[in-house]
């Protein structure tokens, strides 16, 4: 039984890998489950055994690949060993550095930003994305408030405005990188951007 579960999990991952390639190549609207099955070297029935349809496949792909990258970023940045200001720095820096390090993460981001039309069938997934962004803003708001309390951040700083600026920095830099990676090369450019933002928070 264990082997069967492992094989099923491996096949599911194979389908997700194939879906990322197909959606990235054709865009969400033009891609079909038959395309995904062919890319994975499986039958369409095998794809349907794991996913009820294209929407479920696409939603699972985004949710799982984003979660994988976010776990890495948040696990490090929110470690207790960092002060609030250091945590903000690591959160921003790692969010940008992972773009360079993780090809699959870049592919998912490119798919969502440039190759997916917002159709009614994807509305639920879009709302989940909005909720995730709001959650990130809330995390940074909390860090800014802790930083103010600790005397690391100027008391005149508005926590929500600072959090929105931080998330906008990451999102804007991400879009720039996906359009032209040379814009943010070398990696020191990313660090300078983060350092410039942090200077505006300090007392």
Clarify whether residues 16 and 60 are in a common domain.
Answer: no
Q: Tell which of 34, 51, 68 closes a domain.
A: 51
Return per-residue pLDDT of the chain as tens, 203 residues: 455 888 889 999 999 999 999 999 999 999 999 999 999 999 999 999 999 999 999 999 998 988 888 888 888 888 889 999 999 999 999 998 888 888 888 999 999 999 998 888 998 888 888 888 999 999 999 999 999 999 999 999 999 999 999 999 999 999 999 999 888 887 789 899 999 999 999 99
Same domain, 40 and 135: no
Which DSSP state fits 29?
A: T
Same domain? For 153 and 96 the reply is: yes
**CATH number, position 3:** 1.10.10.60
pLDDT at 3: 55
Q: Look up the pTM and report it.
A: 0.86
Both 114 and 79 in one domain: the answer is: yes
Task: Give the CATH number for residue 114.
Answer: 1.10.357.10
104 and 171 within one domain: yes
pLDDT of residue 2: 52
Pair (35, 100) in one structural domain: no
Of 51, 76, 92, the position where a domain reaches its end is 51
Nearest to 125 by CA among 191, 179, 65, 181: 65
> Domains in the chain: how many in total?
2
pLDDT value of residue 75: 82
Question: Are residue 34 and residue 99 in the same domain, yes or no?
Answer: no
Query: What is the distance between the alpha carbons of residues 122 and 9, in angstroms, rounded to a whole number?
Result: 25
Asked if 121 and 172 sit in the same domain, the reply is yes
Same domain flag for 155 and 193: yes
Domain that holds residue 138: 54-199
> Cα separation of 154 and 198, whole Å?
11
DSSP string covering 130-154: HHHHHHHHHHHHHHHHHHHHTTSS-
**Same-domain status, 35 and 96:** no
Predicted pLDDT at 1: 44
93 and 126 inside one domain? yes
Based on the domain organization, do 105 and 182 belong to the same domain? yes
């Amino acid at each position: 039984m264990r082997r069967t579960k492992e094989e099923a999990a491996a096949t599911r991952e194979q389908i997700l890998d194939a879906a990322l390639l197909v959606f990235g190549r054709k865009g969400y609207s033009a891609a079909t489950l038959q395309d995904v099955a062919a890319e994975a070297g499986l039958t369409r029935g095998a794809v349907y055994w794991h996913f009820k349809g294209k929407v479920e496949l696409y939603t699972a792909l985004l949710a799982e690949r984003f979660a994988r990258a976010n776990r890495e970023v948040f696990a490090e940045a929110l470690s207790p060993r960092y002060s609030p200001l250091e945590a903000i720095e690591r959160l921003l820096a790692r969010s940008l550095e992972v773009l360079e390090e993780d090809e699959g993460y870049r592919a998912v981001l490119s798919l969502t930003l440039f190759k997916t039309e917002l159709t009614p069938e994807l509305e639920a997934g879009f709302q989940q994305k909005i909720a995730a962004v709001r959650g990130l803003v809330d995390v940074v708001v909390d860090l800014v408030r802790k930083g103010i309390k600790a005397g690391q951040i100027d008391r005149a700083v508005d926590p929500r405005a600072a959090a929105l600026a931080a998330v906008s920095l990451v999102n804007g830099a991400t879009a720039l990188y996906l359009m032209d990676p040379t814009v943010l090369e070398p990696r020191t450019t990313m660090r300078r951007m983060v350092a410039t933002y942090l200077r505006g928070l300090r007392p």
